[in-house]
Amino acid sequence: MALSPMDVSQLAAVDTARAARVLDEVRSAALSGQRMPMAPRPVIGQSWERMLRGGVDPERDFRSGLLSREEVRRRRETSTLRQVLPVLREGLLSVADVARHIVVVADEEGRVLWREGSAPVLRKADGLGLEVGADWREEVVGTNGVGTPAVTGRPVQVFASEHFVRSHATWTCAGAPITDPRDGRLIGVVDVSGPLETMHPATLAWVDSVAKLAEARLRETHVRSLERLRTVAAPLLARAGGRALVVDRHGWTAAVTGMPYTERLALPKSVSAGMRWLPVLGRCSVEPLAGGWLVRAADEPVARAGTRIVLDLREPRRWSVEVSGGAGSWARELSPRHAELLYLLAVRPAGRSAAALAEAVFGDPGRTVTVRAEMSRVRRYLGPLLDHRPYRFTESAEVDILLPEQPDPLFPHSHDRLTAARGH
Protein backbone atom coordinates (compact mmCIF):
# COMPACT_ATOMS: atom_id res chain seq x y z
CA MET A 1 0.00 0.00 0.00
CA ALA A 2 1.38 3.43 -0.97
CA LEU A 3 2.18 5.84 1.82
CA SER A 4 1.53 9.57 1.81
CA PRO A 5 4.17 12.00 3.14
CA MET A 6 2.08 12.41 6.31
CA ASP A 7 1.95 8.63 6.73
CA VAL A 8 5.75 8.42 6.56
CA SER A 9 6.05 11.10 9.24
CA GLN A 10 3.74 9.11 11.48
CA LEU A 11 5.53 5.88 10.62
CA ALA A 12 8.88 7.39 11.59
CA ALA A 13 7.57 7.95 15.11
CA VAL A 14 6.95 4.22 15.60
CA ASP A 15 9.19 2.45 13.08
CA THR A 16 12.23 4.59 12.30
CA ALA A 17 14.00 1.91 10.26
CA ARG A 18 11.05 1.29 7.93
CA ALA A 19 10.43 5.00 7.41
CA ALA A 20 14.09 5.45 6.57
CA ARG A 21 13.91 2.64 3.97
CA VAL A 22 10.83 4.20 2.35
CA LEU A 23 12.50 7.61 2.14
CA ASP A 24 15.65 6.06 0.68
CA GLU A 25 13.51 4.56 -2.11
CA VAL A 26 11.87 7.94 -2.71
CA ARG A 27 15.23 9.72 -2.88
CA SER A 28 16.78 7.13 -5.21
CA ALA A 29 13.82 7.28 -7.58
CA ALA A 30 13.78 11.07 -7.57
CA LEU A 31 17.49 11.33 -8.39
CA SER A 32 17.35 8.68 -11.13
CA GLY A 33 14.26 10.17 -12.76
CA GLN A 34 12.15 7.07 -12.08
CA ARG A 35 8.63 6.95 -10.73
CA MET A 36 8.63 7.58 -7.01
CA PRO A 37 6.64 5.34 -4.64
CA MET A 38 5.36 8.56 -3.04
CA ALA A 39 5.99 12.26 -3.38
CA PRO A 40 8.40 13.85 -0.92
CA ARG A 41 7.03 16.50 1.40
CA PRO A 42 6.76 19.80 -0.53
CA VAL A 43 9.47 21.56 1.51
CA ILE A 44 11.84 18.64 0.84
CA GLY A 45 10.92 18.25 -2.83
CA GLN A 46 11.48 21.96 -3.45
CA SER A 47 14.84 21.78 -1.70
CA TRP A 48 15.89 18.80 -3.84
CA GLU A 49 14.96 20.77 -6.95
CA ARG A 50 17.22 23.62 -5.80
CA MET A 51 20.06 21.19 -5.17
CA LEU A 52 19.74 19.65 -8.64
CA ARG A 53 19.68 23.07 -10.29
CA GLY A 54 22.66 24.18 -8.19
CA GLY A 55 24.77 21.14 -9.05
CA VAL A 56 25.11 19.74 -5.52
CA ASP A 57 26.48 16.18 -5.77
CA PRO A 58 24.11 13.82 -3.87
CA GLU A 59 26.82 11.17 -3.58
CA ARG A 60 29.66 13.42 -2.42
CA ASP A 61 30.07 14.67 1.12
CA PHE A 62 31.50 18.09 0.27
CA ARG A 63 32.95 20.18 3.08
CA SER A 64 34.25 23.71 2.76
CA GLY A 65 37.03 24.87 5.04
CA LEU A 66 36.30 25.57 8.69
CA LEU A 67 36.49 29.12 9.95
CA SER A 68 39.58 29.87 12.00
CA ARG A 69 39.23 30.09 15.77
CA GLU A 70 39.82 33.82 15.55
CA GLU A 71 37.04 34.27 12.98
CA VAL A 72 34.62 32.12 15.01
CA ARG A 73 35.40 34.24 18.06
CA ARG A 74 34.87 37.46 16.10
CA ARG A 75 31.52 36.29 14.73
CA ARG A 76 30.37 35.16 18.16
CA GLU A 77 31.20 38.52 19.69
CA THR A 78 29.45 40.55 16.98
CA SER A 79 26.40 38.31 16.37
CA THR A 80 23.01 39.31 17.76
CA LEU A 81 22.58 35.60 18.51
CA ARG A 82 24.88 36.06 21.49
CA GLN A 83 22.08 37.93 23.26
CA VAL A 84 19.72 34.94 23.12
CA LEU A 85 22.12 32.07 23.83
CA PRO A 86 20.82 31.76 27.42
CA VAL A 87 17.26 31.36 26.08
CA LEU A 88 18.35 28.69 23.58
CA ARG A 89 20.39 26.79 26.13
CA GLU A 90 17.67 26.89 28.78
CA GLY A 91 14.97 25.81 26.35
CA LEU A 92 16.84 23.10 24.48
CA LEU A 93 20.05 21.86 26.02
CA SER A 94 18.93 19.86 29.06
CA VAL A 95 16.35 17.86 27.12
CA ALA A 96 18.62 17.49 24.09
CA ASP A 97 21.41 15.97 26.17
CA VAL A 98 19.12 13.39 27.77
CA ALA A 99 17.49 12.56 24.42
CA ARG A 100 20.90 12.13 22.74
CA HIS A 101 20.62 15.24 20.60
CA ILE A 102 22.93 18.15 20.08
CA VAL A 103 21.99 21.81 19.76
CA VAL A 104 23.58 23.73 16.87
CA VAL A 105 23.42 27.51 16.44
CA ALA A 106 24.53 28.94 13.10
CA ASP A 107 24.69 32.52 11.85
CA GLU A 108 22.84 33.96 8.86
CA GLU A 109 25.55 32.63 6.53
CA GLY A 110 25.09 29.07 7.75
CA ARG A 111 28.34 29.01 9.72
CA VAL A 112 28.17 26.94 12.90
CA LEU A 113 29.13 29.19 15.82
CA TRP A 114 27.98 27.14 18.82
CA ARG A 115 27.43 23.42 19.30
CA GLU A 116 26.57 21.64 22.55
CA GLY A 117 24.90 18.47 23.80
CA SER A 118 25.44 14.75 24.11
CA ALA A 119 29.16 13.92 23.89
CA PRO A 120 28.70 10.71 21.82
CA VAL A 121 26.43 12.56 19.41
CA LEU A 122 28.94 15.40 19.12
CA ARG A 123 31.52 12.84 18.00
CA LYS A 124 29.09 11.50 15.38
CA ALA A 125 28.45 15.06 14.23
CA ASP A 126 32.20 15.49 13.75
CA GLY A 127 32.06 12.60 11.29
CA LEU A 128 29.43 14.45 9.27
CA GLY A 129 31.37 17.70 9.30
CA LEU A 130 28.85 19.40 11.60
CA GLU A 131 31.59 21.18 13.54
CA VAL A 132 32.11 24.67 14.91
CA GLY A 133 33.12 26.89 12.01
CA ALA A 134 31.62 24.60 9.35
CA ASP A 135 29.56 25.94 6.45
CA TRP A 136 26.10 24.31 6.44
CA ARG A 137 24.39 26.41 3.82
CA GLU A 138 21.95 24.40 1.74
CA GLU A 139 23.84 25.08 -1.49
CA VAL A 140 27.02 23.67 0.07
CA VAL A 141 25.92 20.52 1.94
CA GLY A 142 22.44 19.91 0.52
CA THR A 143 19.06 19.73 2.24
CA ASN A 144 19.58 19.97 6.01
CA GLY A 145 18.17 21.42 9.22
CA VAL A 146 20.45 24.46 9.22
CA GLY A 147 20.62 25.59 5.60
CA THR A 148 17.07 24.75 4.50
CA PRO A 149 15.28 26.80 7.21
CA ALA A 150 17.52 29.73 6.27
CA VAL A 151 16.33 29.52 2.66
CA THR A 152 12.64 28.87 3.32
CA GLY A 153 12.34 31.23 6.28
CA ARG A 154 10.36 28.67 8.28
CA PRO A 155 11.01 25.67 10.58
CA VAL A 156 12.02 22.47 8.78
CA GLN A 157 12.57 18.90 9.98
CA VAL A 158 14.81 16.73 7.78
CA PHE A 159 14.73 13.00 8.44
CA ALA A 160 16.98 10.26 7.07
CA SER A 161 17.10 10.27 3.25
CA GLU A 162 15.22 13.54 3.08
CA HIS A 163 18.80 14.84 3.31
CA PHE A 164 19.99 15.34 -0.25
CA VAL A 165 23.53 14.05 0.36
CA ARG A 166 23.58 10.30 0.97
CA SER A 167 26.10 10.37 3.84
CA HIS A 168 23.64 12.40 5.93
CA ALA A 169 20.91 9.71 5.70
CA THR A 170 21.79 8.34 9.15
CA TRP A 171 20.91 11.70 10.71
CA THR A 172 17.79 13.59 11.72
CA CYS A 173 17.54 17.31 12.40
CA ALA A 174 14.98 20.01 13.08
CA GLY A 175 15.86 23.67 12.62
CA ALA A 176 14.10 27.01 12.94
CA PRO A 177 15.19 30.45 11.71
CA ILE A 178 15.73 33.31 14.15
CA THR A 179 15.01 36.80 12.83
CA ASP A 180 15.82 40.23 14.18
CA PRO A 181 12.50 41.82 15.25
CA ARG A 182 13.87 45.27 14.41
CA ASP A 183 13.98 44.63 10.68
CA GLY A 184 12.86 41.04 10.06
CA ARG A 185 16.26 39.97 8.81
CA LEU A 186 17.58 36.46 9.35
CA ILE A 187 20.26 36.44 12.04
CA GLY A 188 20.70 32.70 12.34
CA VAL A 189 19.25 29.22 12.74
CA VAL A 190 18.92 26.99 15.78
CA ASP A 191 18.93 23.25 15.09
CA VAL A 192 18.51 20.09 17.15
CA SER A 193 20.17 17.07 15.56
CA GLY A 194 20.98 13.46 16.28
CA PRO A 195 21.08 9.89 14.96
CA LEU A 196 17.93 8.46 13.37
CA GLU A 197 16.80 6.65 16.49
CA THR A 198 16.49 10.00 18.33
CA MET A 199 13.82 11.23 15.92
CA HIS A 200 10.57 12.46 17.50
CA PRO A 201 7.70 14.14 15.63
CA ALA A 202 7.36 16.85 18.31
CA THR A 203 10.97 18.00 17.98
CA LEU A 204 10.23 20.58 15.30
CA ALA A 205 7.48 22.29 17.30
CA TRP A 206 9.78 22.31 20.33
CA VAL A 207 12.65 23.93 18.44
CA ASP A 208 10.34 26.46 16.78
CA SER A 209 8.81 27.50 20.10
CA VAL A 210 12.25 28.12 21.60
CA ALA A 211 13.31 30.13 18.52
CA LYS A 212 10.22 32.30 18.99
CA LEU A 213 11.12 32.77 22.66
CA ALA A 214 14.54 33.98 21.53
CA GLU A 215 12.93 36.48 19.16
CA ALA A 216 10.66 37.65 21.98
CA ARG A 217 13.73 38.26 24.14
CA LEU A 218 15.24 40.39 21.37
CA ARG A 219 12.01 42.40 21.17
CA GLU A 220 12.11 43.01 24.92
CA THR A 221 15.73 44.16 24.69
CA HIS A 222 14.84 46.52 21.85
CA VAL A 223 11.90 48.02 23.75
CA ARG A 224 14.11 48.67 26.78
CA SER A 225 16.73 50.38 24.60
CA LEU A 226 14.06 52.66 23.11
CA GLU A 227 12.83 53.53 26.59
CA ARG A 228 16.35 54.57 27.59
CA LEU A 229 16.68 56.65 24.43
CA ARG A 230 13.29 58.25 25.13
CA THR A 231 14.59 59.73 28.40
CA VAL A 232 17.39 61.41 26.43
CA ALA A 233 14.98 62.56 23.71
CA ALA A 234 12.36 64.25 25.88
CA PRO A 235 14.32 67.42 26.83
CA LEU A 236 15.77 67.74 23.32
CA LEU A 237 12.38 67.62 21.61
CA ALA A 238 10.87 69.98 24.17
CA ARG A 239 13.26 72.66 22.88
CA ALA A 240 13.03 71.69 19.21
CA GLY A 241 10.90 73.74 16.82
CA GLY A 242 9.00 72.31 13.87
CA ARG A 243 8.95 68.64 13.01
CA ALA A 244 11.53 66.46 14.72
CA LEU A 245 12.00 62.97 16.07
CA VAL A 246 14.58 60.86 17.86
CA VAL A 247 15.31 57.39 16.50
CA ASP A 248 17.70 54.61 17.40
CA ARG A 249 20.52 53.42 15.14
CA HIS A 250 18.05 51.28 13.19
CA GLY A 251 15.53 54.08 12.69
CA TRP A 252 12.98 52.99 15.32
CA THR A 253 11.25 55.98 16.86
CA ALA A 254 11.78 56.80 20.53
CA ALA A 255 9.93 60.14 20.55
CA VAL A 256 8.43 62.67 18.13
CA THR A 257 7.21 66.26 18.12
CA GLY A 258 5.37 68.48 15.63
CA MET A 259 4.33 65.62 13.36
CA PRO A 260 2.32 62.37 13.40
CA TYR A 261 3.99 59.46 15.13
CA THR A 262 5.74 57.04 12.80
CA GLU A 263 6.96 53.74 14.17
CA ARG A 264 10.15 53.67 12.14
CA LEU A 265 12.14 56.02 9.95
CA ALA A 266 14.00 54.53 6.99
CA LEU A 267 17.68 55.38 7.35
CA PRO A 268 20.44 54.86 4.79
CA LYS A 269 22.68 51.85 5.41
CA SER A 270 25.49 54.23 6.36
CA VAL A 271 24.10 57.37 8.00
CA SER A 272 26.20 60.29 9.23
CA ALA A 273 25.56 63.70 10.73
CA GLY A 274 24.60 66.62 8.47
CA MET A 275 21.88 67.53 6.00
CA ARG A 276 20.36 64.42 4.45
CA TRP A 277 17.39 63.48 2.29
CA LEU A 278 15.30 60.78 3.96
CA PRO A 279 12.24 58.93 2.65
CA VAL A 280 8.89 60.39 3.75
CA LEU A 281 10.46 63.35 5.58
CA GLY A 282 12.53 64.80 2.74
CA ARG A 283 15.45 67.12 3.55
CA CYS A 284 16.53 66.73 7.19
CA SER A 285 19.20 67.71 9.67
CA VAL A 286 20.66 64.60 11.33
CA GLU A 287 22.48 64.96 14.66
CA PRO A 288 24.11 62.08 16.58
CA LEU A 289 22.94 61.05 20.04
CA ALA A 290 24.08 58.32 22.39
CA GLY A 291 22.37 55.29 20.86
CA GLY A 292 20.58 57.11 18.06
CA TRP A 293 19.88 60.25 16.04
CA LEU A 294 18.00 63.51 16.39
CA VAL A 295 16.29 64.19 13.04
CA ARG A 296 14.81 67.63 12.23
CA ALA A 297 12.68 67.88 9.09
CA ALA A 298 13.47 70.87 6.86
CA ASP A 299 10.71 70.57 4.26
CA GLU A 300 7.51 68.73 3.46
CA PRO A 301 7.73 65.23 1.95
CA VAL A 302 6.86 65.03 -1.72
CA ALA A 303 7.03 62.42 -4.44
CA ARG A 304 9.35 64.23 -6.83
CA ALA A 305 9.07 64.03 -10.60
CA GLY A 306 12.09 62.44 -12.18
CA THR A 307 12.69 60.07 -9.26
CA ARG A 308 14.51 56.89 -10.27
CA ILE A 309 14.08 53.63 -8.38
CA VAL A 310 16.56 50.80 -9.00
CA LEU A 311 15.62 47.36 -7.68
CA ASP A 312 18.90 45.43 -7.56
CA LEU A 313 18.31 41.65 -7.49
CA ARG A 314 21.62 40.56 -9.00
CA GLU A 315 23.16 38.96 -5.91
CA PRO A 316 21.06 36.30 -4.12
CA ARG A 317 19.85 37.43 -0.69
CA ARG A 318 21.80 40.68 -1.02
CA TRP A 319 18.95 42.56 -2.65
CA SER A 320 18.50 46.33 -2.37
CA VAL A 321 16.48 49.30 -3.57
CA GLU A 322 18.10 52.63 -4.49
CA VAL A 323 16.14 55.87 -4.90
CA SER A 324 17.65 58.93 -6.57
CA GLY A 325 16.35 62.27 -7.75
CA GLY A 326 16.81 66.00 -7.51
CA ALA A 327 16.74 65.91 -3.72
CA GLY A 328 19.54 63.34 -3.38
CA SER A 329 19.75 59.57 -3.19
CA TRP A 330 19.59 56.73 -0.69
CA ALA A 331 19.72 52.95 -0.71
CA ARG A 332 18.31 50.21 1.49
CA GLU A 333 18.92 46.47 1.70
CA LEU A 334 15.76 44.38 1.28
CA SER A 335 14.48 41.31 3.07
CA PRO A 336 13.53 38.43 0.73
CA ARG A 337 9.82 39.13 1.24
CA HIS A 338 10.13 42.86 0.49
CA ALA A 339 12.32 42.18 -2.54
CA GLU A 340 9.71 39.74 -3.84
CA LEU A 341 6.82 42.17 -3.34
CA LEU A 342 8.63 45.05 -5.03
CA TYR A 343 9.62 42.80 -7.93
CA LEU A 344 5.97 41.80 -8.40
CA LEU A 345 4.98 45.48 -8.55
CA ALA A 346 7.90 46.46 -10.78
CA VAL A 347 7.03 43.92 -13.50
CA ARG A 348 3.38 44.99 -13.51
CA PRO A 349 3.26 48.82 -13.65
CA ALA A 350 -0.55 48.82 -13.52
CA GLY A 351 -0.28 47.40 -10.02
CA ARG A 352 -1.64 44.45 -8.08
CA SER A 353 -4.31 44.15 -5.43
CA ALA A 354 -3.57 42.69 -2.01
CA ALA A 355 -5.33 39.50 -3.07
CA ALA A 356 -3.26 39.24 -6.26
CA LEU A 357 -0.04 39.69 -4.29
CA ALA A 358 -1.17 37.06 -1.77
CA GLU A 359 -1.92 34.64 -4.60
CA ALA A 360 1.49 35.22 -6.20
CA VAL A 361 3.50 34.95 -2.99
CA PHE A 362 1.59 32.39 -0.94
CA GLY A 363 -0.73 30.68 -3.42
CA ASP A 364 -3.62 31.87 -1.26
CA PRO A 365 -5.53 35.05 -2.23
CA GLY A 366 -7.08 35.09 1.23
CA ARG A 367 -3.82 36.06 2.96
CA THR A 368 -4.38 39.76 2.37
CA VAL A 369 -3.79 40.70 6.02
CA THR A 370 -0.20 39.43 5.78
CA VAL A 371 0.36 41.23 2.48
CA ARG A 372 -1.06 44.51 3.79
CA ALA A 373 1.15 44.30 6.88
CA GLU A 374 4.26 43.78 4.74
CA MET A 375 3.30 46.55 2.33
CA SER A 376 2.78 48.87 5.29
CA ARG A 377 6.39 48.18 6.28
CA VAL A 378 7.56 48.83 2.72
CA ARG A 379 5.76 52.18 2.68
CA ARG A 380 7.73 53.27 5.74
CA TYR A 381 10.79 53.71 3.53
CA LEU A 382 9.29 54.20 0.04
CA GLY A 383 6.49 56.43 1.31
CA PRO A 384 5.00 58.64 -1.45
CA LEU A 385 6.72 56.56 -4.15
CA LEU A 386 4.09 53.85 -3.67
CA ASP A 387 0.36 54.11 -4.37
CA HIS A 388 -2.30 51.64 -3.24
CA ARG A 389 -5.66 50.30 -4.42
CA PRO A 390 -4.02 48.67 -6.24
CA TYR A 391 -0.46 48.64 -4.93
CA ARG A 392 1.88 50.14 -7.54
CA PHE A 393 4.81 52.48 -8.00
CA THR A 394 3.77 56.11 -8.50
CA GLU A 395 3.67 57.31 -12.11
CA SER A 396 6.29 59.97 -11.30
CA ALA A 397 8.92 57.30 -10.65
CA GLU A 398 11.08 55.53 -13.22
CA VAL A 399 11.65 51.93 -12.08
CA ASP A 400 14.54 49.75 -13.25
CA ILE A 401 15.24 46.13 -12.30
CA LEU A 402 18.76 44.67 -12.23
CA LEU A 403 18.59 40.88 -12.58
CA PRO A 404 21.15 38.07 -12.16
CA GLU A 405 22.72 36.48 -15.22
CA GLN A 406 21.45 32.97 -14.46
CA PRO A 407 17.74 32.33 -15.15
CA ASP A 408 17.25 30.40 -11.90
CA PRO A 409 14.25 31.30 -9.73
CA LEU A 410 14.78 34.59 -7.95
CA PHE A 411 12.73 33.53 -4.96
CA PRO A 412 12.83 29.71 -4.61
CA HIS A 413 10.13 29.65 -1.93
CA SER A 414 7.71 31.79 -3.94
CA HIS A 415 4.46 30.20 -5.06
CA ASP A 416 4.65 32.27 -8.23
CA ARG A 417 7.94 30.61 -9.31
CA LEU A 418 9.40 33.96 -10.28
CA THR A 419 12.36 33.73 -12.59
CA ALA A 420 15.09 36.09 -13.57
CA ALA A 421 14.68 35.41 -17.24
CA ARG A 422 14.68 38.49 -19.44
CA GLY A 423 11.38 39.31 -21.03
CA HIS A 424 9.38 38.33 -17.89
Is 70 exceeded by the pLDDT of residue 382?
Answer: yes
- Is the pLDDT confidence value at 7 over 80? no
The pLDDT value given to residue 15: 60
* Total length of the chain: 424
Higher-confidence position of 135 and 385: 135
In tens, the pLDDT along 346-371 reads: 999 889 999 999 888 888 888 888 88
What does the radius of gyration of the chain's CA atoms come to, in whole angstroms? 24
In the predicted model, is pLDDT for residue 11 greater than 60? no
- Strand order of the β-sheet with 397-402 is 328-333, 320-325, 307-312, 397-402
Under the banding of pLDDT at 50, 70 and 90, the label for residue 422 is very low
Whether the pTM exceeds 0.85: the reply is no
Please give the share of the chain, as a percent, with pLDDT higher than 70.
88
- pLDDT tens, residue by residue, 217-233: 999 999 999 999 988 88
pLDDT tens column, 205-216: 999 999 999 999
- Mean confidence (pLDDT) of the chain: 84
User: Residue 213 corresponds to which amino acid?
Assistant: L
- Alpha-carbon span 102 to 112, nearest angstrom: 13
Residue 417 has pLDDT above 50, yes or no: no
Q: What pLDDT digit, counting tens, does each position of 22-35 carry?
A: 888 888 888 888 88
CA dihedral sign, ordered 407, 408, 413, 415: positive
Above 80 in pLDDT, residue 383?
no
Phi, then psi, of 190 in degrees rounded to 5: -110, 135
